[in-house]
Amino acid sequence: MSHDEEVSTHRHVKQQLDRISERDGTVRAWVHRHDDDAILGALATAPRGLLSGWTLGVKDVIDTFDLPTERGSPIYAGRTTLNDAACVALAREAGAVVMGKTVTTEFALFTPNVTTNPHNFAHTPGGSSSGSAAAVADGQVRAAFGTQTVGSVVRPAAYCGVVGFKPTHQLVPLTGVATLSHAFDTVGWFTQGVDDAATMFSALTGTAVLTTEQPLRIGRYRSHQWDAATSETVAVMDSACDALCQRSTEVVELDPLPHLESVFEAANTILHYEIVRVFAWEQTHHYELISDLARKMLVRAKDVTHEQYTAAHLTLIAARREHDEFMAVNAFDALLTPSTPGEAPLIKTTGDSVFNRVWTALGVPAVHLPLAMGPTGLPLGVQLTGRSWRDGDLLASAALSEAAFNGDT
């Protein structure tokens, strides 16, 4: 990095720190953070790599050796580890400087925490990667890690108006990430644009995202959950399709796919069965410190039997195979779907993951692209989903789609 680049990076990071000082009392994205001098000093000594000069937020379910990881729960107040999670270690090796730990919901479940939506403090930033999405959206950090078990990268990205990328399940190692569901947990990240999301992907995987100029073939998918979409979501889907068609993209209208009909409930069954067992210790030793909402979920989850759990896994195995064949036979680069039912609701809830669960359960990569502001001044966008293990292809398609949405030549 040249002297001029170092000066520019220092100035930009100082602007981010000033933004935190100005806004942290209302956005409340951080649970622990290094002091400003330590962050600025770390920029000078960080390794040189793809993420040189980047500041990074880390969701508070992901271990860092130099800051506590408290999982959004008083049970883990002050908990520290001797090592970084694998994804954090890889990012640091590529030059990123960890700015701090971002607020998450309790155990990465559904109980709202303190973070607000930077566009309107009365509304939710989404969950459970609330602090990460809000910090990136508010210009407080360049990128941030989140995790998605149902919709916790795509949904907060949509509500906060940033790019959120969830890679193929098991592509990024989960070492050092607190478990919610071993069947579905996936590390993802938030950035301001697709280019930065692709750079993060390259830093974590060691492979470049190759650009493509060929016309895309995208399926506009009206899922079994389509009735949940608000009129503004339908309108933004229409706008996205119009913008893509103007760039010679072939948009194919798709009705609900039979092989996906049972995935939503199968995923719900698996999640509930696993959380009862994942949180066995917390329930036995610290039940009084678990929130009412999480307790109710755990009580309901105990009704799921082992037979139902195994049957749900078999359903997913079949659906994943059929979906990969469907995408290949039809030569789709991606499917275009809603990210959320509509704009971010009021802060008493983290929102609805109805349009995320199926894709997470399938294990396919997914990316949220911001597109417009809704009728109440909150962000709206769309979700692109791809084929498992073809994450680079999805990011290349997302880059072309982003350019179409922005009207870039």
Task: Give tens-digit pLDDT for 114-170.
Answer: 999 999 999 999 999 999 999 999 999 999 999 999 999 999 999 999 999 999 999
Q: How confident is the model at residue 409 (pLDDT cuts 50, 70, 90)?
A: low
State CA 355 to chain mean position distance.
13
List of domains in the chain: 3-205 (3.90.1300.10), 217-262+309-406 (no CATH)
**pLDDT at position 90 over 80:** yes
- CA dist., res. 45 & res. 13, Å (int): 15
Cα dihedral 389/392/395/396 (nearest 10): -130
- Cβ count near 403 (within 10 Å): 14
Q: How confident is the model at residue 408 (pLDDT cuts 50, 70, 90)?
A: confident
State the pLDDT at residue 5.
75
Cβ 125 vs Cβ 116: under 8 Å: yes
Identify whether 302 is a catalytic site residue.
Answer: no
- CA dist., res. 31 & res. 59, Å (int): 9
Helices and strands (H, E) in the chain, number of each type: 13, 11
**pLDDT at position 4 over 90:** no
**DSSP 3-state percent helix, strand, coil across the chain (nearest 5):** 45, 15, 40
**pLDDT at position 1 over 70:** no
Task: Give tens-digit pLDDT for 20-41.
Answer: 999 999 999 999 999 999 999 9
Task: Give tens-digit pLDDT for 334-373.
Answer: 999 999 999 999 999 999 999 999 999 999 999 999 999 9
**pLDDT at position 212 over 90:** no
Catalytic residue among 73, 129, 132, 152: 152
Q: Residue 251 to residues 217, 234, 385, 390: CA-CA distances in angstroms?
A: 6, 15, 14, 20
Mean pLDDT, residues 366-385 = 98
Mean pLDDT, residues 211-227 = 93
Identify whether 128 is a catalytic site residue.
Answer: yes
Catalytic residue among 59, 129, 130, 401: 59
State the pLDDT at residue 213.
78
**pLDDT at position 2 over 80:** no
- CA dist., res. 65 & res. 189, Å (int): 20
State the pLDDT at residue 73.
98
Task: Give tens-digit pLDDT for 42-55.
Answer: 999 999 999 999 99
State the pLDDT at residue 211.
86
Contacts of 178 by beta carbon, 8 Å cutoff, 6+ apart:
61, 62, 69, 71, 107, 108
Q: What whole-number percentage of the chain has pLDDT above 70?
A: 99
Contacts of 5 by beta carbon, 8 Å cutoff, 6+ apart:
53
Catalytic residue among 73, 128, 339, 397: 128
Length of the chain: 409
Cβ 145 vs Cβ 189: under 8 Å: yes
**pLDDT at position 3 over 70:** no
**pLDDT at position 86 over 70:** yes
Mean pLDDT, residues 92-99 = 98
Mean pLDDT, residues 211-235 = 94
Identify whether 59 is a catalytic site residue.
Answer: yes
Report which DSSP code applies to 303.
Answer: T
Grouping H, G, I as helix, E, B as strand and the rest as coil, residue 95 is coil
Mean pLDDT, residues 252-280 = 98
